[in-house]
């Protein structure tokens, strides 16, 4: 699945195996070393020459009883990491975890990714349906101070073009501190269908929240900002002086 999108295979393959430990923080590029500061896992070649400060830190949280128990490999988290690899042009790094469909575990992971790991964006996948074990929206709402209703609406509207049961998704999004938390669908195919469209607004959202200035690869995602909110790349020292 991920390979079909031409993602950096080294990063993804290394993360989809043994290090998918539930409740254990792992980076997408590191082999479960347990370090709390994973290094950057994907830099677009064009980004390194025009530094825009510290890499943006993205959290990817797969919520799945079976993936967390090792019954099967998680394909959804790697699909999201693959999307970042294709779509994000400025420096970024990722924190990737897999947890079971338990509200306290999901809440703890979201809080840790935002508060301790410093993620400006946390993307979840899984656990948004109507089944009793699906509690990702509840966990998301519990850790957010304000909700962003537009994302749930937009993703359901997009997915409804493909399948009538998209209406069953309870996906939501919200803000914790200066971070955006957003629930994506559970299936890699649906992730891609929605995220391609939804990601157009995320870099500007992160900017409004006081986060990093994220740039996209226009051929993949045409991120939008109002003209007066656009920056041109400049040396790091100039940026910090602003």
Can you give the binding site for a copy of itself, defined by CB under 8 A?
Answer: 129-132, 138, 146-154, 156-157, 160, 163-170, 172, 175, 178, 180, 197-198, 200-201, 204-205, 208-210, 222, 224-226
Cα–Cα distance, 239 to 49 (Å, whole number):
15
Nearer to a copy of itself, 11 or 202 (CB): 202
Nearer to a copy of itself, 28 or 181 (CB): 181
Nearer to a copy of itself, 57 or 170 (CB): 170
Q: E-assigned strands of the chain?
A: 26-27, 56-63, 92-99, 121-125, 146-147, 173-176, 179-184
Nearer to a copy of itself, 46 or 165 (CB): 165
The counts of H helices and E strands in the chain are 10, 7
Strand arrangement of the beta sheet that strand 26-27 belongs to = 26-27, 92-99, 56-63, 121-125, 179-184, 173-176, 146-147
- Nearest CA-CA partner of 42 in 1, 82, 2: 82
Residue 230 CB, nearest distance to a copy of itself (Å)?
12
Question: How many other CB atoms sit within 10 Å of the CB of residue 70?
Answer: 14
Residue 182 CB, nearest distance to a copy of itself (Å)?
11
Residue 118 CB, nearest distance to a copy of itself (Å)?
17
Cα–Cα distance, 222 to 239 (Å, whole number):
23
Residue 168 CB, nearest distance to a copy of itself (Å)?
5
Q: E-assigned strands of 50-127?
A: 56-63, 92-99, 121-125
Nearer to a copy of itself, 8 or 133 (CB): 133
Interhelix angle for 103-111 vs 136-143, to 10°? 40
Residue 98 CB, nearest distance to a copy of itself (Å)?
22
Residue 34 CB, nearest distance to a copy of itself (Å)?
34
Nearer to a copy of itself, 45 or 132 (CB): 132
Nearer to a copy of itself, 23 or 200 (CB): 200
Q: Backbone phi, then psi, for 170, in 5-degree steps?
A: -110, 20
Residue 167 CB, nearest distance to a copy of itself (Å)?
4
CB 176 within 8 A of CB 140: no
Structure tokens of 220?
Answer: 């993949």
């Amino acid at each position: 699945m991920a390979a079909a999108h031409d993602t950096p295979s080294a990063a993804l393959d290394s993360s989809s195996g043994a290090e998918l430990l539930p409740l254990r923080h792992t980076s997408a590029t590191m082999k479960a070393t347990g370090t709390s500061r994973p290094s950057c896992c994907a830099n677009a070649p064009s980004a390194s020459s025009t530094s825009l400060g510290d890499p943006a830190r993205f959290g990817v949280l797969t919520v799945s009883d079976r993936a967390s128990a090792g019954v099967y490999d998680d394909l959804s988290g790697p699909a999201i990491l693959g999307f970042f690899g294709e779509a994000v042009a400025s420096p970024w790094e990722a924190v990737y975890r897999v947890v079971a469909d338990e509200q306290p575990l999901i809440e703890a992971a979201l809080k840790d990714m935002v508060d301790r790991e410093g993620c400006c964006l946390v993307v979840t996948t899984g656990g948004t349906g109507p089944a009793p074990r699906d509690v990702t929206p509840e966990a998301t709402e519990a850790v957010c101070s304000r909700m962003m209703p537009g994302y749930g609406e937009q993703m359901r509207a997009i997915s409804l073009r493909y399948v009538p049961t998209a209406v069953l998704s309870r996906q939501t999004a919200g803000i914790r501190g200066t971070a955006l938390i957003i629930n994506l669908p559970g299936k890699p195919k649906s992730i891609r269908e929605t995220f391609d469209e939804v990601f157009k607004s995320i870099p500007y959202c992160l900017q409004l929240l006081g986060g990093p200035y994220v740039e996209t690869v226009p051929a993949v995602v045409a991120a939008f900002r109002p003209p007066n909110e656009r920056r041109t790349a400049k040396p790091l020292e100039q940026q910090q002086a602003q």
